[in-house]
Amino acid sequence: MPLRLIEFDDVSDNRYGGKASGLAELRRLGLPVPVGFVIAYASEQVTAGDAGDWFARMTAVGATPVAVRSSAVGEDGDDQSFAGQYDSVLGVDSVDHFVRAIRACAASVHSRRVSSYSGQQTATMHLVVQQMVDARAAGVVFTADPATGRRDLMVIDAIAGLGEALVDGTASPDHLVLDIDGSPAVREVGGTPVLSTDEIADIRAGALRAAEHWGRPMDLEWAIDQSGTLWWLQARPITTLPGDLNEMDSPLAGEDHVYTRCNIGEMMPGAFCPLTASVSGFAIDYAMQMTQVVARAQQSYQKPWLQVGYFQGHMFLNMTEGTGLSSGLLGNSLEQFSISICGRVVDELKPKPPKPFIAKLINTVRLSTYALSAGPAIRRLQDQIAEFRIPTSDDPRLVLHELESGVERYCDITLTHVRSSSRAAVAANILEGVLMKQAVKAGRGEDEGRADATRLMAGASEVESALMLEELDAVVHAVAADAVAAEMFLAATPGTAISELRTSGDSISQALEQFLARHGHRGYRELCMRDPSWAEDPEGLGAMMQVMVRSALDPTTTRPTSIDVEASTSSTVRLLARLAQGGARGREETKSKMALMAHSLKLGYRHLGEVLAKEGRLPDSDLVFFFDRAELTRIVGSEDVTGLVQSAVKRREALAFQSSLEFADVSVGRPTPLIARPQLSVTGDEIVGRPASRGSVEGVVRVAKSIVDARQVQRGEILVAPVTDVGWTPYFTVIAALVTDIGSSVSHGAVVAREYGLPCVVNTLVATQALKTGDRVRVDGDRGVITRLDRP
């Protein structure tokens, strides 16, 4: 088609390319856009006559020199930006220069870099011609952070002069990240800031108008001229964003409610897919609400997401709702409640009106009886789980119906686990309280009383996680005892090592099979509906066992320690210690049963995904994990779910972004991820946490923020982690001590550390931030203190 001139006001869609369309929309919004026009169907055959007429038009209104920029069909679109792929020519100040610029930009549509970038046939080229801005400053603004996927942040990059140096990377810009209120959360600027506070506010206001108009996050270019006028040069969608990280957030129980990642972060570490929230998160919330009902903190089960919240992929505990217990029970203050959850007094937490003494007495008796009488319910767990049959039907509606029945059973099993955990906490808290009082009375400190309690809580027999570890340790030592087998096992890749071991048919193979038959449902993040268990993850199991084999080949050994409770002179303390040990044993047992039921549901949902993929309702079976349970009723139906499936694809992309988010230990209202790390609450070279297992040791730090990081741990190192669950247990045979950001004296890491005689400090809040792999520290499990020593 012949070249022709198109006015911006006549551009109403993307037929002349995304750049032309974006500029036309900006003009309609009333935002300042440099004068110019579009050359439609640009080609290298442009005549000097046409070019002369068009350039004369700009000269007549004092709009030279000009910029000539590509606006090819597909450029600056929803899927691809083509940033820098086509040519642009700036500072065009004559007709001859204008002709060369048009030809150069038109010819760039045939370049090898464009075809390599897009993988498509040659696009139709249009050009945008605009007056050059004599820029004092220029840059870009993103109305969402493309690096983190967060839509509550705005990013501004600014450079003095023309923006070309910013685009081609030859200059370092001022970098600003604004929070949802427009306050700078990150401010990386040179000695003389490029932008003033008012200019930042103007850029933000214009960008927000554009994002609201388009209804999606935008990437906009701007320039400020020598007189201080802000001009908008380009508008396009941000093409690299995943789905909205907040899309599947649960309702906020209250604007002033206090949420925390502590406690629940031990059971549910990291970010989870929506189905996990809809199954495991729902079950935990149900169990906690029903416990509140028993204690008469609420009248009945009300609605989902009252005790638990799901925000940006992460699970949170609603402490405000939990204060109903502290205000309605004898001997349970708000301070004690917050310390038991977060390891510190939470000042943001407001007490509920206290109940009368008689009401507190009745509630305390009801809840204590409910917790302490959990034995029969615990003994029924195995039969409850066995009664659930993992669905095998090819009818997706029937499969989903059976899974819904399984979720109801899962809720009951989770409630039994909460009862068991309450029983464990009651005994542990009373024991700790008694020994703290005794320590203070004897002129010692409360920390020493806590250390006495942790010593007496160690040595519980038949603890599930310890038995599990003993079985795996036996397999590992059998491998290590055979020099040839050990060499082959360590030389292979982790997955191959497990596969070859399982198929060898010898006694070691049989022992491994027995271990997997009993404990193969366990693993890291075992309540996740999507993550594999040990039996399903030979790569992860192999990496863990290889670390253990190397440790077993070391002549020194680490074995569980046993504490003689009868050695205590007080019969009351001896009784409390035995109850605390029994509580820990029951808690670990019910956690394993809860994980087994979760594993059964996981297999069922995986089968549902396979059925739906086979029927063509889903593009692949894994996508089933990115719907909630209500949405799955639509997926198994007959309605058109194209839009819902596309949303699930974006949610899957978002999970990796959500996994990188970090939160403060306590949030008021909707939890917001940290942008910059807060100042660490570290005094000098000391980090103070909560003592969880006695002993003192010096060693080298290994910071492992995930189970994958833990594969690098070396024998004798001090493991520093955000939190540990059963998936980390085998590494306890290798390490010298454990330090965690969150946790309590009855959390998984503390229980197993005591069994293995490892010094352990929990609830430091900041250890993974303050320490680095290679640091040398002293861990004092008696006082709950980590001291940084000279680095090696």
Mean pLDDT, the chain, whole residue set: 87
Alpha helices in 170-309 (DSSP H): 197-214, 264-267, 274-276, 282-294
Question: b/e string for 175-199 if b means 16 or more Cβ within 10 A?
Answer: ebbbeeeeeeeeeeeeeebbbeeeb
Q: What is the mean pLDDT of residues 96-107?
A: 91
pLDDT bucket at 332, cuts 50 / 70 / 90: confident
Four-point Cα dihedral 161, 163, 168, 174, nearest 10: 80
Distance in angstroms (rounded) separating the CA atoms of residues 254 and 302? 14
Q: Is the entire prediction scored with pTM above 0.85?
A: no
Determine the pLDDT at residue 81: 41
Q: Which residues contact 146 (CB under 8 A, 6 or more apart)?
A: 155, 219, 238, 240, 241
Instruction: Please check the confidence at residue 687 and state whether its pLDDT lies above 50.
Output: yes
pLDDT of the residue at 442: 82
| Residue 54 pLDDT greater than 90, yes or no | yes
pLDDT at 83: 46
Residue 155 burial by Cβ neighbours in a 10 Å radius (0-12, 13-18, 19+):
buried
The mean pLDDT of 319-345, rounded to a whole number, is: 82
- Please identify which residue in the block is written with the tokens 């600056």: 76
What token pair was written down for 459?
A: 């040595």
What's the pLDDT score for residue 119?
43
DSSP string, 54-84: HHHHHHHTT--SEEEEE--TTTT-SS---TT
Burial zone of 64 (CB within 10 Å; 0-12 exposed, 13-18 middle, 19+ buried): middle
Q: How does DSSP classify residue 281?
A: I
Q: Residue 455 has what pLDDT?
A: 66
Instruction: Encode pLDDT of 521-575 as tens digits.
Output: 998 899 999 999 999 999 999 999 999 999 888 766 444 444 444 444 577 777 7
- Lowest-pLDDT range, 36-45, 199-208, 650-659? 36-45
pLDDT digits (tens, 9 = 90+) for 410-459: 999 999 999 888 776 666 767 777 777 888 888 877 767 766 776 666 65
Residues 6+ apart with CB under 8 A from 561: 458, 459, 754, 755, 756, 757
Classify 780 in phi/psi space as left (phi over 0), alpha (psi -120 to 50) or beta.
beta
Q: How far apart are the first and last CA of the chain?
A: 72
Taking only the tens place, the pLDDT of each residue in 257-300 is: 999 998 888 888 999 999 999 999 999 999 999 999 999 988 89
- Those residues whose C-beta lies under 8 Å from the C-beta of residue 675, and which sit 6 or more positions away, are 153, 177, 179, 185, 186
- Walk across the sheet containing 760-762 and list its strands: 686-688, 785-788, 776-780, 696-703, 718-721, 737-740, 760-762, 690-693
Q: What is the pLDDT of residues 634-664, one digit of tens each?
A: 999 999 999 999 999 999 999 999 998 999 9
Please report the pLDDT score of residue 167 as a whole number: 61
Exposed, middle or buried: residue 773 (CB in 10 Å: 0-12, 13-18, 19+)?
A: middle
3-state secondary structure of 137: strand
Beta-sheet pairing, 127-131 with 88-92: unpaired
**Extended beta strands in 229-380, E state:** 230-237, 258-260, 308-311, 314-318
- Per-residue pLDDT at 704 exceeds 70: yes
Q: What is the mean pLDDT of residues 335-363?
A: 86
pLDDT, greater one: 32 or 171: 32
Cβ atoms of residues 684 and 749 within 8 Å: no
